[in-house]
Structure 1
Amino acid sequence: MSPNHPPNPQSKPPLQSIISCHDFEHAASISLAPKTWSFYSCAATDLVTHKLNSSIYNQILFRPRTMTDVSTADTSTSILSRRSTLPLFCAPAALSAMVHPDGERALARACQKSGIPQCVSTSASFRVEDIFASISQPPVLDTPPPAPMTFFFQLYVDKNRAKSEELLRTAERLGAKAVFVTVDGPVQGKREADERVKADRELVSPMSGTRAKNDEKKGNSISRAMGSYIDPTLSWKDVEWLRRSTKLPIILKGIMTAQDAVLAMEHGIDGIVLSNHGGRNLDTTPPPMLVLLEIQKNSPEVLDKVEVFVDGGIKRGTDIFKALCLGAKAVGIGRGFLWALNYGEEGVEKFIDILRDELETTMKLCGITDLSQVHPGLVNTLAIDHLVPSGEGHPYAKWRPKARI
């Protein structure tokens, strides 16, 4: 269903009938409230990047190896030195209580049970203290204690830097293992499906302190209202400020060129997320997989010095595997977790299990038994190689505008 045509809510199919991530998305499209569906499914202007994020995976083909003992396969890995049962983390997304009343708390519990990290958004529906408390309950009698939870904190830098510094101190105190600083959204993109449907003005983000509103001139975008506090002056010189403000590893979320990946490496950044914000900010930006290939082509040293993650358009275990083969350490998924959250904690657990099963099946059919064996030779990227730029400038256009007098 097109993001531009939010539905009238209907009953969702039973959870036991769900067998793929696409099923979760379809269920969300027919059962979520119109504003909730339009807010999460929308993307910038003509949705070119949003669609390309997913479709690019279909143009990358496998080159499977056979006659290998694949009776077992291990999907576990490490993400920022923390063990994870999958090369997957729950990417940050705003206001998930719009989907389910437990919001990020249900996501946290499901991620903990499944053994994968969760990245909590600055624009979450609950304070980070409340989300952390939901996974810190005493164990039930006669049941084993839950596994330690790995959680990361996503930061939109506030115009009032003191607020951001306080959030970083809180996240660090609660045990966050890294801070993901979003760098691709100094302003919010034009998301027309979100603008067409009126917002609930009671909607509040407790950590950022922003409230939804409706604008008669520019539409009813939750994103535009909720992002009004974000500091558009954030620049590379602020890496020093971030280092002073937290001892946590720093990951930059929203890298879209090999040049910025190199700058991140040169500034001592611990990790980068190749992401275009799910196609929600600037339409016709490249899908993350093309940026990953651009890094491989022009600056492969980045992959040895910085943990590189891919976030955008991932809907299958095959997609995860392709990203790993081309150098990603792990992947983040945002919308998919939200569609699964439509079924509560149990739905999120099933979503993770589906991806686990698909990834394991892909590994075995490609002839590998653990993720240390992935390499670019297992994929054929010839269909998209012509889209990968070489160097920083345009390959032949040398024109430059004259300086203004």
Structure 2
Amino acid sequence: MTSVSGKAGALVSIGSDDRQAAKPSLDTLISTHDFELVASKTFSPKAWAFVSSAATDLYTKQRNATTFSRIRLRPRALRDVSKVDLGTTMLGHRIRAPLFCSPVAMSKLVHEEGEKDVSRACKALGIAHCVSTSASYPLEEIASAMRAHRVLDDDGGFEVPLFFQLYVDKNRENSRRLLQRARDAGAKAIFLTIDAPVPGKREADERIRSDEGLSSGMSGVGVKNDAKGGGIGRVMGGYIDASMSWRDLAWLRSCVPGLPVVLKGVQTCEDAILAAGAGVDAIVVSNHGGRSLDTSSESVMVLLEMHRNCPEVFRSVEVYVDGGITRGTDVFKALCLGVKAVGIGRGQLYGLNYGHEGVARYIEILRDELETTMKMCGATSIDQLHPGYLNSLSIDHKIPTLDPATKLALIKSKL
């Protein structure tokens, strides 16, 4: 096996290796952590570096996952929890559980069917799939794979929407054409990523040389190596327009009139207030899985910040979250904090190691843990959840308080 450690900053070539060892049987994996462990041992070195990497020292990535555990649960007893309904909606689309697959790039690095298999799993699960601008396959093919996938227990009551995530191109006409393609392919909403005006520095990804034959089937952007390294995320994000601002939301709406607009990457209560004032349909509280700006706040802390400073935002727009969700208790806590649905990013790729069946099993584990948590806490439907089920006193002192005058100025601002 070729070593991938190298010296700091060195670009390492990878030849044949033994990381594609025999994977354990899918039915032996009983937690999301099992999937990550198997991926660490069986992904190609480049795939593992690309998927697992995060910005610089990985503090935000690590805290995304660990901070959930610092919020304690407050279970209520002696309630009839014999039946639990996990159904909810995203932007009016009825889904089986408050989960969705977040946009991730270049899934074909993990499995030949890539995003097509993720969509097949989402259809089987009755949940939404948001497809990345940097997807391995065109959205048209992903949508076709979803439509064609047979689900034996489909009761016809769920819509399984496809959403499209957008990085705005410096050449705005390229983005306009891409948005119209997405609309024509059946995308039900546009998720505009706002937490990555430039790509983050992901050192593990940079240190391993990329296959220059790779390219996105959606954006058409190809992969290459250069003097900075072999980072797929950096090279494929070179076209992103760093001038995008609140003023440009009107342009975005003009490209696909009538489609809901979601801002993905809200990291402060101030921007949550501005987003609600700008009339978007939803926001995703996200720090890009820690892949953009290291030491930015973990997603659950931003939710607590919003509860302290702008709870009205949860009533005016739908709020979603991703980043660090690895247990059903994490999902439960996010829902108690007003989130409508929880996104799964890296986890879908760890599941994709086993094709669409693996993605489905990964998310089913989270769903089952969520159902168990709800029963243990005395709740039988998503609309019953509220902050009273949580004790966040161990981290409340870390939450910033927004000055009332600043908040008023934000509400009155004309974007």
Contact 2:124–2:154 (CA under 8 A) maintained in structure 1:
no
Which residue pairs with 1:373 in the alignment? 384
Task: Tell me which amino acid in the other structure corresponds to 2:242.
Answer: P
Contact 1:139–1:145 (CA under 8 A) maintained in structure 2:
no
**Once the 2 structures are TM-superposed, how far is the Cα of residue 173 of structure 1 from its aligned partner?**
1.7
Which residue pairs with 2:195 in the alignment? 184
Which residue pairs with 2:129 in the alignment? 118
1:39-118 to 2 correspondence within 5 Å? 39-118=50-129
Q: Count residues with an aligned counterpart.
A: 390
Instruction: Find the aligned partners of 1:354 and 1:392 in 2 and give their Cα distance.
Output: 42
**Once the 2 structures are TM-superposed, how far is the Cα of residue 177 of structure 1 from its aligned partner?**
1.2
**Once the 2 structures are TM-superposed, how far is the Cα of residue 143 of structure 1 from its aligned partner?**
9.1
Which residue pairs with 2:246 in the alignment? 236
Deviations 1:66-120 (A, max 9, x none): 0111111111111111111111100000000100000000000110011000000
**Once the 2 structures are TM-superposed, how far is the Cα of residue 138 of structure 1 from its aligned partner?**
8.2
- Report the 3-state secondary structure (helix = DSSP H, G, I; strand = E; otherwise coil) of the residue aligned with 1:384: helix
Instruction: Find the aligned partners of 1:116 and 1:21 in 2 and give their Cα distance.
Output: 18
Instruction: Find the aligned partners of 2:25 and 2:148 in 1 and give their Cα distance.
Output: 29
Instruction: Find the aligned partners of 1:144 and 1:352 in 2 and give their Cα distance.
Output: 17
Q: Which of 309, 312, 335 lines up with 2:346 in the alignment? A: 335
Deviations 1:111-158 (A, max 9, x none): 001100000000000001111111222869x99797643111101111
Deviations 1:220-247 (A, max 9, x none): 1111100011111100000110111112
Q: Which of 255, 264, 267 lines up with 1:256 in the alignment? A: 267
Contact 2:87–2:94 (CA under 8 A) maintained in structure 1:
yes
Contact 1:135–1:149 (CA under 8 A) maintained in structure 2:
no
- 2:374 matches 1:324: no
Contact 1:127–1:206 (CA under 8 A) maintained in structure 2:
yes
In the TM superposition, structure 1's runs of 4+ consecutive aligned residues that sit over 2 Å from their partners are 3-8, 136-140, 142-149
Q: Which of 278, 301, 313 lines up with 2:324 in the alignment? A: 313
Percent identical pairs in the alignment equals: 53
Which residue pairs with 2:410 in the alignment? none
1:3-402 to 2 correspondence within 5 Å? 9=19, 10-137=21-148, 148-216=159-227, 218-246=228-256, 247-391=258-402
Instruction: Find the aligned partners of 1:138 and 1:370 in 2 and give their Cα distance.
Output: 29
Contact 1:66–1:366 (CA under 8 A) maintained in structure 2:
yes
Contact 1:38–1:193 (CA under 8 A) maintained in structure 2:
yes
Instruction: Find the aligned partners of 1:144 and 1:78 in 2 and give their Cα distance.
Output: 17
**Once the 2 structures are TM-superposed, how far is the Cα of residue 174 of structure 1 from its aligned partner?**
2.1
Task: Tell me which amino acid in the other structure corresponds to 1:236.
Answer: W
Q: CA RMSD in A?
A: 2.0
- Report the 3-state secondary structure (helix = DSSP H, G, I; strand = E; otherwise coil) of the residue aligned with 2:262: strand
Contact 1:29–1:37 (CA under 8 A) maintained in structure 2:
yes
**Once the 2 structures are TM-superposed, how far is the Cα of residue 8 of structure 1 from its aligned partner?**
5.2
- Report the 3-state secondary structure (helix = DSSP H, G, I; strand = E; otherwise coil) of the residue aligned with 2:321: strand
- Report the 3-state secondary structure (helix = DSSP H, G, I; strand = E; otherwise coil) of the residue aligned with 2:147: coil
> For residues 226 and 82 of structure 1, do their structure 2 counterparts lie closer, same or farther at Cα, with a shift above 3 Å needed?
same
Contact 2:94–2:159 (CA under 8 A) maintained in structure 1:
no
Instruction: Find the aligned partners of 1:261 and 1:64 in 2 and give their Cα distance.
Output: 30
Instruction: Find the aligned partners of 1:136 and 1:21 in 2 and give their Cα distance.
Output: 27
Instruction: Find the aligned partners of 1:270 and 1:56 in 2 and give their Cα distance.
Output: 28
- Report the 3-state secondary structure (helix = DSSP H, G, I; strand = E; otherwise coil) of the residue aligned with 2:201: coil
Instruction: Find the aligned partners of 2:359 and 2:352 in 1 and give their Cα distance.
Output: 6
Contact 1:155–1:182 (CA under 8 A) maintained in structure 2:
yes
Task: Report which stretch shifted further, 165-174 or 338-347.
Answer: 165-174
Gaps of 5+ in 2: 7-13, 407-415
> For residues 333 and 4 of structure 1, do their structure 2 counterparts lie closer, same or farther at Cα, with a shift above 3 Å needed?
farther
Contact 2:93–2:159 (CA under 8 A) maintained in structure 1:
no
Instruction: Find the aligned partners of 1:149 and 1:379 in 2 and give their Cα distance.
Output: 30
Deviations 1:161-206 (A, max 9, x none): 1111111112112221111000111111110100111111111012
Instruction: Find the aligned partners of 2:341 and 2:48 in 1 and give their Cα distance.
Output: 27
Task: Report which stretch shifted further, 171-180 or 279-288.
Answer: 171-180
Which residue pairs with 1:398 in the alignment? none
